[in-house]
Structure 1
């Protein structure tokens, strides 16, 4: 099942380290079949306070997403971003084809006794 690395980042000013990070990140993702779905785009805020932007990277599965983040190649460039751009990064599993939220709601309702 597809897994996603999702970052909510708040870039401030561009500098050489950030540019180097952007130039080098793709080569760290390639061995794990990672690909950008969202990168450096403006977001349209529909609800709540939000600042910054979002990055979404897809991996074939959670194992490869974790392996990419822990890889020596990625760890080597990570400070180029974290030293200059505040933000949060998470890994999340996607849902399978045919996922139906009504079934999830029914299971949650049963668990909660509602």
Structure 2
């Protein structure tokens, strides 16, 4: 079943390192079977506290999302990012159409 990787940045401490992370992370996600559905700054806030940036990536299943995270290519992107941002990554399972 489809899975969705949701990466939410709540603080950014170094824009340059974040940019370099994104240059590595994007290809790593695509190589692992991910498809970017949305990314960027919020365009509207309907409730709660706003995140600075959010990325949503579709994967064939939760195991593929986990494998993408654990891949050497993504781990290299994480080394570049280091402590330059505070974020939360969650994986959600897609719903089946009735």
Shorter-chain TM-score range: 0.7 to 0.9
Runs of 4+ in 1 over 6 A off after TM superposition: none
Q: CA deviation at 1:42?
A: 2.4
Q: Partner residue of 2:28? A: 28
Q: Partner residue of 2:15? A: 14
Counterparts of residues 1-114 of structure 1 (less than 5 Å) = 1-10=1-10, 11-15=12-16, 17-98=17-98
Q: CA deviation at 1:48?
A: 1.9
Q: Which runs of 5+ in 2 are unaligned?
A: none
CA contact (8 A) 1:38 1:57 kept: yes
Taking structure 2 as the reference length, the TM-score comes to 0.85
Aligned CA RMSD, in angstroms, stands at 1.7
Task: Determine the C-alpha separation between the residues in 1 that align with 2:43 and 2:87.
Answer: 15
**Structure whose residues are more often strand by fraction:** 2
**Structure whose residues are more often helix by fraction:** 1
Larger radius of gyration: 1
Q: Which runs of 5+ in 1 are unaligned?
A: 99-114
Q: CA deviation at 1:74?
A: 0.6
